[in-house]
Amino acid sequence: MKEMLIMTPGPTEVAENVRLARAKATTNPDIDLAFYDFYKKTCSKLAQFLKTKNDVRVLAGEGILGLEAACASLTEKGDRVLVLDNGIFGHGFSDFIELYGGEAILLESSGKEAFSLEILEKFLEKDHDFKYATVVHCDTPSGVLNDLSSICPLLKKYGILTVVDSVAAMGGEELQVDKWQIDIALGGSQKVISAPPGLTIASISTEAYQAMTERKSPIASFYCNLLTFKDYYEKKWFPYTMPISDIYGLDQAIDNLLADQEILKRHAMIGHATRQAIENSPLELYLQNGYSNTVSVIKVPEGLNDQEILRKMRENYRVMITGSFDHLAGKVLRIGHMGENARPNKVAYSLYALQKVLEDFGIAFKNNLQEDFLEALN
């Protein structure tokens, strides 16, 4: 049987050299000093990739660990935290903030477009007494991309620390941590980076560290405490045993990304061509603007069931795309074209399969999704 093509917005396909790096002989990463150097080198490559002089750390846990660790490390009882809410992950930050005793103040903007800078400007003029703010780069369930280059510097102008979830964008969309003044930028191994799930990437600014060390109460977590990693290299001590094979894989995945000079351009071309093909067809994109080039989100045609479409895609064509969750469950289909999935042949075949399946369900196409996609690439 044909291998399944995994076209979900993470986890993505993993390149062979990453899989092989994970098979390398291992050592005791707590004791072997060579591993501290290896980890340090991986972190500096990540810093180069994130365009930052800030510390970068790799934590042993899937992307969600980073979101919780940022909130756990910064939040003290009664702290006011601004949550930019134009998507499901955006909204979700409030749970972590409240779990650690903070007060989450949600600022909403339409979930169908990039977060409105005007709404944020007006709001901050009246109220800007926040310890930090959270914002999602690409909110994957809807595919909306927020403009960090204007949002984060604006927040910093008011002295508000910035925490960014870039799990689904990092590597596929521009991300300039220092220039955009991002205090904590978070990523995961399994999205654009195209390593298996299991690792969080976090960059941490001096100001963010300062907010953690100046706390009146201790950080109410051990695993989620970002300070425990601060001086690992000098102390030759990790707070827990590092998953060495996962980190070998991540290191190779970062090498792949750094060597790939065209990666942002390829994501932009593929994102654009996918949207163009959808727009020429009877299908509709979910968003009005603010499209991330890492994922395309398409409305489920009237009267059809998302699960049946997804099942036929898998069974008849061996392509795995996905629906969404929370208030978008059943309403949209998502094709992930990030990292190893951002390849013209993979997206073209996925669109071919999608059209065939939808035609079986009675949707009449006048255009050809695959052809329109390939045309729009040029």
In the annotated binding site, the residues are 334
Asked whether position 290 contacts ligand PLP by CB under 6 A, the answer is no
Q: Applying CB under 6 A, which of residues 81, 136, 177, 309 lies at the interface with ligand PLP?
A: 136
Q: In this complex, which beta carbon is closest to ligand PLP, that of residue 166 or of residue 370?
A: 166
Q: With binding defined as CB under 6 A, does residue 151 bind ligand PLP? A: no
202: Cα within 13 Å, side-chain hemisphere: 32
Span near ligand PLP by CB under 6 A; candidates 31-39, 75-83, 136-144, 237-245: 136-144
> Site residues for ligand PLP, window 68-107 (CB under 6 A)?
89
- Binding residues for ligand PLP restricted to 318-377, rule: CB under 6 A: none
Q: How far is the CB of 142 from ligand PLP (least distance, A)?
A: 10
With binding defined as CB under 6 A, does residue 29 bind ligand PLP?
Answer: no
50 binds ligand PLP (CB under 6 A): no
List binders of ligand PLP among 171-210 (CB under 6 A).
188, 191
Binding ligand PLP (rule: CB under 6 A), the pick from 13, 62, 251, 372 is 62
Q: 73-101 b/e with 16+ CB inside 10 Å = b?
A: bbbbeebbbbbbbbbbbbbbbbebbeebe
Among 5, 7, 10, 94, binds ligand PLP (CB under 6 A): 10
Q: Which of 140, 293, 341, 350 binds ligand PLP (CB under 6 A)?
A: 140
Please give the structure tokens belonging to residue 43. Answer: 């972190």
* Out of 63, 111, 243, 323, the residue judged to bind ligand PLP by CB under 6 A: 63
Helices 263-279 & 369-377 angle (0-180, nearest 10): 140
Q: Which is nearer to ligand PLP, 55 or 68 (CB)?
A: 68
Min dist CB 320 to ligand PLP, Å, is: 15
Name which of 5 and 67 has its Cβ closer to ligand PLP: 67
State how far the Cα of 135 lies from the Cα of 185, in Å rounded to an integer. 10
d(CA 283, CA 299): 7
Q: How many angstroms separate the CA atoms of 201 and 62, rounded?
A: 9
> Which conformational region is residue 14 in: left (phi greater than 0), alpha (psi within -120 to 50 degrees), or beta?
beta
Binding region for ligand PLP (CB under 6 A) out of 132-140, 145-153, 224-232, 313-321: 132-140
Q: Kindly compute the dihedral angle of the four CA atoms of residues 292, 163, 105, 157, in this order, to the nearest 10 degrees.
A: -100
Cα 119 from Cα 234, distance rounded (Å) = 45
Size of the site for ligand PLP (CB under 6 A): 13
Q: What angle do CA 325, 327, 329 make, to 5 degrees?
A: 40
Position 373: which residue type?
F
Residue positions forming the annotated binding site for substrate? 334
Tokens of 23: 């098979």
**Which residues form the interface with ligand PLP (CB under 6 A)?**
10, 62-64, 89, 136, 139-140, 165, 167-168, 188, 191
